Amino acid sequence: MTDLLFIRPFFLLPYLPISLFPTLMTLKAAIIPVTPFQQNCTILFDDEEMRGVVVDPGGEVERIRAAVEKAGVAVEAIWLTHGHIDHAGAAMDLKDALGVEIIGPHAADLKLLHNLETQAQMFGLTGQVRNVTPDRFLEDGDVVSFAGHEFQVLHCPGHAPGHVVYYSPDAKFAHVGDVLFNGSIGRTDLAGGDHDALIRSIKDKLLPLGDDVSFICGHGPGGRFGDERRNNPFLI
Ligand SMILES: [Zn+2]
Ligand SMILES: [Zn+2]
């Protein structure tokens, strides 16, 4: 497996003229699958200014740091989508290493974040995981940014009560965490899970953003909302 997979969100939209989206020319993503759960820790960055954020550092902090260094990105913050171990397990270690703040998720995940070390014991990951206290929780409608790239915060409960999605209207790109997957949806059998809420989050908040929105998700390949709206068996 490659350590560092560079993709540009707009490469998922090859049939659209890039000139329609001048502002996303410089938004880039690097994915580092981490933990036994192969979670897509993602470096989102501007490839001219080489500044960005790390989304969901779930574990293997040394690999994440090596990827950040290899990419040459100055990391300005850690953004969390939700409080599960594979997404937040290494957030405190990365915060300490980089000297940056942890932003998000929604405060409804505080209990999960303060229970990570217990989760770690359940999964046999003792010693690699610390409980997380974010520097700032996010609300639906907040805007977060780096290097001029603005992302709207969408509170999308269902997989986890405090799950947030980061959406860039300019880039027509979303980081959806474990809300939606390519051909699947987040599981709802964990603590705080709610199937009906998850479906509402996807159908009422994500899909209306447009068929042409490309996404990176917490596990496996990303995709486009239009393909999920038409073909995802959990949404039909
Ligand atoms: Zn999760
Ligand atoms: Zn996950």
Q: For 53-70, write each residue's pLDDT tens digit.
A: 999 999 999 999 999 999
Predicted TM-score of the model (pTM): 0.90
pLDDT at 193: 96
55 CA → ligand 2 middle, Å: 12
Give ion ligand 2 contacts, CB < 5 A: 86, 178, 218
Fold entry, domain 5-231: Metallo-beta-lactamase; Chain A (3.60.15)
pLDDT at 25: 72
Low-confidence ranges of the chain (pLDDT < 70): 1-24, 126-127
Ligand nearest to the CA of 187: 1
Take residue 193 and report the two structure tokens written for it.
């899970």
All structural domains of the chain with their residue ranges: 5-231
Strand 173-177 to 143-146 pairing: unpaired
16 CA → ligand 2 middle, Å: 31
pLDDT at 24: 55
Give kind and range of the element (H or E) at residue 118: helix 116-122
Q: Distance between CA atoms of 139 and 141, rounded to whole angstroms?
A: 6
193 CA → ligand 2 middle, Å: 13
pLDDT at 128: 81
